[in-house]
Structure 1
Amino acid sequence: MDRFTLEETGLVAAMGSGLLAFGTIWYSFVNRHVPNPYLDEVFHIPQAQTYCRDRFFEWDDKITTPPGLYIISRVSAAVKSRLFWTPVEKQCDAGGLRLDNLIAAVLIFPLAVITRHQIERCLTPRRSEQSLNTVSRYAFQTGFNIALFPVLFFYSGLYYTDVFSTLTVLLAYSHHLSRVSRDRSSLISDAWTILLGIAALFMRQTNIFWVVVYMGGLEAVHAVKTLRPKPAEQPPMHTVSEHVRFYIERFSVGDIHDPPIDRAWPHDLCYSIVGIGLAAIYKPVRILKQVWPHITVMCLFTAFVAWNGGVVLGDKSNHIATIHLTQMLYIWPLFAFFSAPLFIPTLLGRTLRLLSCVKRSKLSSVDKSNRNASSGHTGSSKGSHDGDTAGPVSLTSKDHISSSMDSPYLQAARIVVSPRAYSAPLVLLAILASWLIVVQNTIIHPFTLADNRHYMFYIFRYTIRRPGHFREYLVGVYLFCGWLCWSALSPLEMASSRDNKDRRVNSALNPASSSTVVLLFLATALSLVTAPLVEPRYFILPWVFWRLLVPAWYPEQDDRHHGGGGVASLPGLAGLIEWGRRFDLRLVLETLWFVAINLVTMYIFIHRPYVWRNQEGEVLDGGRLQRFMW
């Protein structure tokens, strides 16, 4: 694992102290106003106290998650009892147990910084590796904001599993990134992979999708890329079958197509998936040598499911796995709401470029009419179109030029894989598929309707459960938010050669590879579509992994990339642009946005309690105060 320099350690300490102070205020307010277990703490805290009494075989059947959190609390209580000369049971009251989550939330910050730094190193050519010994400012900002993520930070003051689950998965991810930074992994590294995978599963069963599908898949891709076959010249090919044979041969030896996401069109993603699959089929031994620890974790998890009679511990009746495809639509508005500052440059830049294009079009039409009137010129000139050159058709570095000798089927195939040809049908297909999912697969769990203490109750009440076709109208919102989240992963689409030079200097600008994004989407889908209940907590890890992959953005580069039509072209931004050379302005806004959301939700939780009443106005639940939360 990477280590901080002395200067970086000081910066981590300063930022971590601020985070700790903010978390301590929240923790103290919760303990002062809500000293007794609240909501799910009613199950978690007594179970942890049972473990503190060393009764490890007593289990509350209402609890569905593994005992990892309670084991950590037992160890923590033993350490704190020796430090403060107090009984173990004293450290296992509500305040003592909640303190463990606060500490874990603060630890997420430096771990997220290291993880983002490791990602930047993996995405940068080896010749630039020496310049990556210093952690980027962007990594510090990203790690700090991940720790401040409102849904995650809120539970730093309560005793829930989410904070420690995130911490253990990030530990496993950091270890994974250290493995893929070299060609071969040692047996010790393999053993750590298994141990960290088991630790993640001891927190939440759904972490199997992150430690096996996502990280295991990334290691399989890494194993394929380490094959490094000799480059081969593309021979003249004029039929579809010749192309298929050539690429199967190249894919089978590990010469896969895996471009950065900013250079990838949908057909590139398909090529990437097919290429990796074929390489794995033809080179299984190399793949197995890399991923056997993940297979071991998967086998252990399968054995647990067989022994337990299901994935869920305890109460299985209310947590039956189902196919809930609308989860993959709900996720995008949630990301868009919390990460709204990240999308400001995209929205402003697109708007400015649209206005610029309209203006140029009007000027061009006027100029053309004037020239035609004066010279009678009626000819036309041929030029290159951005849309034609944006997406590569050939999988090699040499563009394949259509020939009159090409078969009709090959010519048709070239048209089919042209982004200009399939973009509109693909959008229509996405709209139709999303609409069908909303109509046929909207699932509303009884818990969502029965508990008005969660914000999701009101979101469903005023959107999904509104009468008429309102939920169908939300399809446009889902797709627009999904496009925003995709655009954040590649803020500089189809990067130019000059942009690539900038990326070698500033590694934070490098986008993720196509295979990484595909695996992220797959792991996210598997972790969400099997859950009938919609809870913001379920979106924490998908958001964290997505957020770690979002590259940096700077106004000057955006302006240069778009020919002076970017955000930097706005008047009065000279001072911000100068400051933006040092910091990603989006992340500054994101920090302020997260702090604002946290303050609002904290205030509502602490100072806006209420009591349940029936229709006759009688007080229910013994008059206990209820509080709003995620």
Structure 2
Amino acid sequence: MPEPQICLLGSRVMTGADAEPRYLRFPPPGPRAAPRKGQETSLSRAPASASPRFRDGTGTGGERGSPAAEQLRVALVPSSVFGVEALLLTGSVAFEPDIFVVVLSLLLHGRPFLLQWDPMITTLPGLYLLSVGVVKPARWIFGWSEHVVCSIGMLRFVNLLFSVGNFYLLYLLFRKVQPRHKAGSSAQRILSTLTLAVFPTLYFFNFLYYTEAGSMFFTLFAYLMCLYGNHKTSALLGFCGFMFRQTNIVWAVFCAGNVIAQKLTEAWKTELQKKKEERLPPIKGPFSEFRKILQFLLVYSMSFKNLSMLLLLTWPYILLLFLFGAFVVVNGGIVVGDRSSHEVCLHFPQLFYFFSFTLFFSFPHLLSPSKVKAFLCLVWKRRIQFFVLTVVSVFLVWKFTYVHKYLLADNRHYTFYVWRRVIQRYEIVKYLLVPVYIFAGWSITDSLKSKSVFWNLMFFICLFAVIVPQKLLEFRYFILPYVIYRLNIPLPPISRLVCELGCYAVVNFITFYIFLNKTFQWPNSQDTQRFMW
């Protein structure tokens, strides 16, 4: 029997034939044998027959990895509504976990796996290490055999824990963020928690062995600890989130920004009350509010007392940021592998895509006749400002729209069809969508008006830092900022929540039905392909 060959790509596992250009080659689990002189034990060239692939196993014809590897990544979460867990457990949908079992087997046997790092891996090994941290103690405590510990169900159990943890964290965050003085707020918080727990993009990836569930868990946990004032714990959890995905460092910065925004808001209210009592003449003219806030920030930042107070509150996050800077310097960048496909760029239209994504999934709260009417009245009232904004937006779409090769190559993902059949259908379409982008952005900002201007500033800065440098349009990148946004808007009426939940249920049913039943094959492959987010 030939040696099993595997290649880990970020949070995904690919077969040897699915990766390019290098492999990790391991002997099967068993007694450790010393390598023969000249024997390759870590990296070896891919065989000539291997088909070329891009990141995540992407290949010619739009491949992102073999179906065996894709099926392998399905993780079990509570899903009795759709009966998906029955399909996974009974084997009604075929999965081939052998490759990932080999990886975990090597880790369980204490082999120096991390010393054999493949250059195509793009993320840090948080998910792998935590999987071993769950599976290996279970083997010690219960005396289970390796066959049981590395079974399909046990491996899927890791994301089951994350998904349950995310549900509880969402509930705790709604209790902390949203006021509790309203009569119906308790039911609204519970319904909001359930709605976000089945948010289609997040819910779908809970079934796959991706980093989404773990990344979401540690980021939400860090945010919760920040809100409770446990900043050292929050920074530590932020580091754990960073180990799942490097861009999560931005949400650790957001936690620090949340603390700063709170102190700035308190000082701002004091300043406004002081001016009111002194009856000082208000600043008038265009952008008067912006000028007042800017003047306040300059005065506030000149105070050593204010800066020292903020430093004492946020030093754990600052330390984490320094560690991240050291990592970037030592590593030579944020991505740990396949850097040619993950280059940083100023992809400003990513903001527009996120606004549209948020408008689509939060339409019960953001889209209504009254909202449209209010927007049109505001446009007419401030037509010069909106004209300038439209011109700038058109310019950003014209000069800063990037099309990643994976977006054009992967015909299994919905973004492929959104791009080809909507945005790229005609050249003028991407410009005609600018008014929709502006409305979506205004509606999102309007829904956050209950938050302070400083909180909004911190949120949009972090949103910019997370998605704008990304060249690839992928809905997974929008999950975390969407959830944080959704947590912080005022609790909607129960009728809107029921509508939102019902729409999410329908979308989930359709996507899972398509994923399980509408399979297809590429001409150059006998493998079964499936549609996904």
Is this a same-fold pair by TM over 0.5?
Answer: yes
Kindly indicate whether residue 237 of structure 2 is the aligned counterpart of residue 196 of structure 1: yes
Kindly indicate whether residue 340 of structure 2 is the aligned counterpart of residue 317 of structure 1: yes
The match for 1:145 is 195
Report if aligned partners of 1:524, 1:542 keep a CA contact under 8 Å in 2.
Answer: yes
- 1:187-586 aligned at under 5 Å gives the runs 189-212=230-253, 214-224=254-264, 232-233=274-275, 235=278, 268=289, 271-272=292-293, 274-276=295-297, 278-282=299-303, 283-343=306-366, 347-350=368-371, 423-490=382-449, 511-554=450-493, 584-586=494-496
The match for 2:508 is 598
Paired letter, 1:218: N
Q: C-alpha deviations, 1:125-155, integer Å up to 9, x for none? A: xxxx8x5999722221221111111110101
Q: Structure 2: how far apart are the matches of 1:139 and 1:81?
A: 39
Paired letter, 1:512: K
The match for 2:498 is 588
Report if aligned partners of 1:111, 1:171 keep a CA contact under 8 Å in 2.
Answer: yes
Paired letter, 2:191: Q
Report if aligned partners of 1:435, 1:475 keep a CA contact under 8 Å in 2.
Answer: yes
Identity of aligned residues (%): 29
Kindly indicate whether residue 523 of structure 2 is the aligned counterpart of residue 629 of structure 1: no
Q: Structure 1: how far apart are the matches of 2:465 and 2:105?
A: 33
The match for 2:26 is none
Paired letter, 2:521: V
Paired letter, 1:202: M
Paired letter, 2:438: L
Report if aligned partners of 1:223, 1:290 keep a CA contact under 8 Å in 2.
Answer: no
Q: Using the TM superposition, give the Cα deviation of residue 205 of structure 1 relative to its aligned residue in structure 2, in angstroms.
A: 0.6
The match for 1:251 is none
Classify the secondary structure of the residue corresponding to 1:157: coil
Q: Using the TM superposition, give the Cα deviation of residue 88 of structure 1 relative to its aligned residue in structure 2, in angstroms.
A: 4.6
Q: Structure 2: how far apart are the matches of 1:553 and 1:133?
A: 13
Q: C-alpha deviations, 1:386-437, integer Å up to 9, x for none? A: x9xxxxxxxxxxxxxxxxxxxxxxxxxxxxxxx9998222211221111111
Q: Structure 2: how far apart are the matches of 1:77 and 1:133?
A: 44
Q: Structure 2: how far apart are the matches of 1:332 and 1:196?
A: 28
Q: C-alpha deviations, 1:432-453, integer Å up to 9, x for none? A: 1111111111100001111111
Report if aligned partners of 2:447, 2:489 keep a CA contact under 8 Å in 1.
Answer: yes
The match for 1:35 is 95
1:86–1:443 distance in 2 versus 1, CA, 3 Å:
same
Q: Using the TM superposition, give the Cα deviation of residue 65 of structure 1 relative to its aligned residue in structure 2, in angstroms.
A: 1.0
Q: Structure 2: how far apart are the matches of 1:120 and 1:149?
A: 19
1:67–1:544 distance in 2 versus 1, CA, 3 Å:
same
Q: Structure 2: how far apart are the matches of 1:309 and 1:20?
A: 40
Report if aligned partners of 2:170, 2:193 keep a CA contact under 8 Å in 1.
Answer: yes
Paired letter, 1:150: P
The TM-score with structure 2 as length reference comes to 0.76
The TM-score with structure 1 as length reference comes to 0.65
Report if aligned partners of 2:406, 2:472 keep a CA contact under 8 Å in 1.
Answer: yes
Q: Using the TM superposition, give the Cα deviation of residue 87 of structure 1 relative to its aligned residue in structure 2, in angstroms.
A: 2.8
Report if aligned partners of 1:269, 1:518 keep a CA contact under 8 Å in 2.
Answer: no
Paired letter, 1:232: K
Q: Using the TM superposition, give the Cα deviation of residue 529 of structure 1 relative to its aligned residue in structure 2, in angstroms.
A: 0.7
- Using the TM superposition, name which of 53-62 and 519-528 deviates more: 53-62
1:472–1:348 distance in 2 versus 1, CA, 3 Å:
closer
Q: Structure 2: how far apart are the matches of 1:426 and 1:27?
A: 52
The Cα RMSD (Å) is 3.2
Q: C-alpha deviations, 1:357-409, integer Å up to 9, x for none? A: xxxxxxxxxxxxxxxxxxxxxxxxxxxxxx9xxxxxxxxxxxxxxxxxxxxxx
Q: Using the TM superposition, give the Cα deviation of residue 547 of structure 1 relative to its aligned residue in structure 2, in angstroms.
A: 0.3
Q: Using the TM superposition, give the Cα deviation of residue 30 of structure 1 relative to its aligned residue in structure 2, in angstroms.
A: 4.5
The match for 2:171 is 113
The match for 1:379 is none
Classify the secondary structure of the residue corresponding to 1:540: helix
Q: Using the TM superposition, give the Cα deviation of residue 217 of structure 1 relative to its aligned residue in structure 2, in angstroms.
A: 1.2
Report if aligned partners of 1:64, 1:312 keep a CA contact under 8 Å in 2.
Answer: yes
Paired letter, 1:217: G
The match for 1:404 is none
Q: Using the TM superposition, give the Cα deviation of residue 100 of structure 1 relative to its aligned residue in structure 2, in angstroms.
A: 1.4
Q: Using the TM superposition, give the Cα deviation of residue 486 of structure 1 relative to its aligned residue in structure 2, in angstroms.
A: 2.9
Report if aligned partners of 1:99, 1:157 keep a CA contact under 8 Å in 2.
Answer: no
Bigger Rg, structure 1 or 2: 1
Q: Using the TM superposition, give the Cα deviation of residue 336 of structure 1 relative to its aligned residue in structure 2, in angstroms.
A: 1.4
1:470–1:89 distance in 2 versus 1, CA, 3 Å:
same
1:472–1:627 distance in 2 versus 1, CA, 3 Å:
same
Q: Structure 1: how far apart are the matches of 2:329 and 2:438?
A: 39
Q: Structure 2: how far apart are the matches of 1:352 and 1:315?
A: 48
The match for 1:413 is none
1:191–1:486 distance in 2 versus 1, CA, 3 Å:
closer
Report if aligned partners of 1:453, 1:626 keep a CA contact under 8 Å in 2.
Answer: yes
Classify the secondary structure of the residue corresponding to 2:201: helix
1:156–1:232 distance in 2 versus 1, CA, 3 Å:
closer
Q: Structure 2: how far apart are the matches of 1:96 and 1:268?
A: 56
Classify the secondary structure of the residue corresponding to 1:20: coil
Q: Structure 2: how far apart are the matches of 1:148 and 1:420?
A: 35
Q: C-alpha deviations, 1:212-249, integer Å up to 9, x for none? A: 1x111121123345668685355566797xx99xxxxx
1:276–1:239 distance in 2 versus 1, CA, 3 Å:
closer
Report if aligned partners of 1:23, 1:157 keep a CA contact under 8 Å in 2.
Answer: no
Q: Using the TM superposition, give the Cα deviation of residue 81 of structure 1 relative to its aligned residue in structure 2, in angstroms.
A: 3.0
Q: Structure 2: how far apart are the matches of 1:99 and 1:24?
A: 18
Say which of 4, 25, 46 aligns to 2:83.
25
The match for 2:25 is none
Q: Using the TM superposition, give the Cα deviation of residue 75 of structure 1 relative to its aligned residue in structure 2, in angstroms.
A: 1.2
Q: Structure 2: how far apart are the matches of 1:273 and 1:34?
A: 59
Classify the secondary structure of the residue corresponding to 2:228: helix
The match for 1:65 is 123
Q: Using the TM superposition, give the Cα deviation of residue 469 of structure 1 relative to its aligned residue in structure 2, in angstroms.
A: 1.4
Paired letter, 2:475: P
Classify the secondary structure of the residue corresponding to 1:628: coil
Classify the secondary structure of the residue corresponding to 1:467: coil
Say which of 157, 182, 201 aligns to 1:99.
157
Q: C-alpha deviations, 1:45-93, integer Å up to 9, x for none? A: 7655543443342323322111111111011112443565423564334
Q: Using the TM superposition, give the Cα deviation of residue 298 of structure 1 relative to its aligned residue in structure 2, in angstroms.
A: 0.2
Report if aligned partners of 1:29, 1:606 keep a CA contact under 8 Å in 2.
Answer: no
Classify the secondary structure of the residue corresponding to 1:523: helix
Q: How many matched pairs?
A: 448
- Using the TM superposition, name which of 23-32 and 524-533 deviates more: 23-32
Classify the secondary structure of the residue corresponding to 2:336: coil
